[in-house]
A and B are shown apart, each in its own frame.
Chain A
Amino acid sequence: MISGIYYTSYEQDMALRKTPAQRIRLAILILLLLSFPFFASRYYLTLANQIGIAVIGAIGLNILVGYTGQISLGQGAFMAVGAYTAGILTAHYGVPWWASIPVAALFTALVGTFFGLPSLRLKGLYLAIATLAAQVIILWIVTHWKAVTGGVEALVVPTPKLFGVKMNTDFNFYWVIWGTAVLITIMTVNLFRTHYGRAFVAIRDQDIAASVMGIDLFRYKLLAFAISSFVVGLAGALLAHYRTIVNWERFTMDVSVTYLAMIIIGGLGSVTGSYLGAAFMTLLPALITNLGRAMKASFPAIEGLIPFIQLAIFGLVIIIFLIFESEGLNKIWKDIKDYFRLWPFSY
């Protein structure tokens, strides 16, 4: 039994994982992540890959909404920019798939920064409406600029290959997706240990005080849009090469709202929350579908109702979270950890 945690240097005090328990937990998580594809079935691998892409997208959105407090309804459109840029570069210009991903992310960052310009004058709901414009404009361009995007017809992307190996199988792309997710996680966590991250949170909490402390609101708001869109574009680009087909219907307003729900349910302003929210929102529909199939034998009428039940449960879950745990799954996870910290002597 340890009596407490004692630091002897500022380096220890500022470390991310301070106790052996935290380090062991992280090690187990990494081991699980590394071994998962070797025993999981194809169905679960597909789910894991979907979660991985959602995690990247959710972290990206959380940087903007959760940490910097700039509400965005343009998530779907920014993912579309990433996906279409990567797809077009590879399909029309022969850029290797792995090179197209960072280029697409950079281009999305550029587009995101442009649509972030209204944030310099607008806040809260007004900004949300301005980003809604981004969603509508970008999707309109995607569906109408036939020569480049293929319009409403799907854009077919060549199968990604690495040294002659097909990469878009669930097993192979797992490593690409989760490798990127881990990299983005580390960088995001680091970002919020330095003055850049603190400036973002300062803008969210109290922007006037932030400007008086020497934080250039103009610069840091746009930077938040740029970094966020970069990560979101990355998620879109990965999706394009994973599916090898890019379709505008995957990037509608629904997607923006789903991602917002993800970070609200997971926990605003938290990387762990982005993981939990992404996993939750990906697994919940799958779970409902499976439950419906299992019940089909006894209740044949249920099959046609599944899509409606799914939507209803989605709405219900969000309402329940907003009422009972507005800080999201991350808070529940924290409470569980706090409970077991002194277990079995927690009183």
Chain B
Amino acid sequence: MNESSSPHRPLQADLPLAGEVKPQLELLGVTKRFGGVAAVDGVNLRVGKGEILGIIGPNGAGKTTLLNCISGVFRLDGGDIRWEGASIAGMAPHRVARLGIGRTFQIVRPFGSMTARENAAIGALFGSSDARKGPKEAFEIADQVLELVGLKAKAGRPVAALTIPDRKRLEVARAVATRPHLLLLDEVMAGLNNVEIDEALDMVRTVHATGVTVLLIEHVMRVIVGICDRAIVLESGRVLAEGEPEVVLRDERVIQAYLGERYAKRLRASGDEDGTN
């Protein structure tokens, strides 16, 4: 694929990717087409261990498709995905999960007939390749994870009795219960109010603090700026910009992609007037 088409910005010295550190996850020219449309078009991306990387972009930019490619839900039409140096392209979702890549779904997909605790236990039962766990140990892990995401008090409730924010927490809890090294979060903050976003941010920080790399898709800019070390912007399946969140969000191409050319021009004009920027 066109390896050099999306040049990486020079990395900051204090970022985890600096120096000789090998990336934990590496995407090389990843392409996914639906019919004639390339939803993801030659994306190159490196995620370092312990990083919190945000992916933003307008609707239809290919963010969720990219996540589906990484987690094995979609087969690639081109390029390669490497996990700790080894290719995982074409691997079945359950094998990707057992390697230590957990994910959530944008539209929550709880196991409806189960309680919150049982939902989390599924992740604990199946999510890791280490010694086979029995249901008993899995429930212990489930309890710990539910406490971590703040659902401990509602562990015994059926999913139907959970609020939307709680179901989003459960979605994260289930993924965390697989004990991932990398967690892919697909818009876990969407649809939450400000207080709930703060709680969700705390939750992500808590999970990250246990040593988990986080790659999150988000529309809420506050989240990107608030916790991400780095952000990449996708547009029409390509990487438009990459770098520190504050810098990326001020990038004119990004503003244009989100808000349209006219708005970008006006913003530039007003920026020139008062001499900033």
Determine if chain A interacts with chain B: no
Q: Which B residues lie at the A interface, using CB under 8 A?
A: none
Q: Which A residues lie at the B interface, using CB under 8 A?
A: none
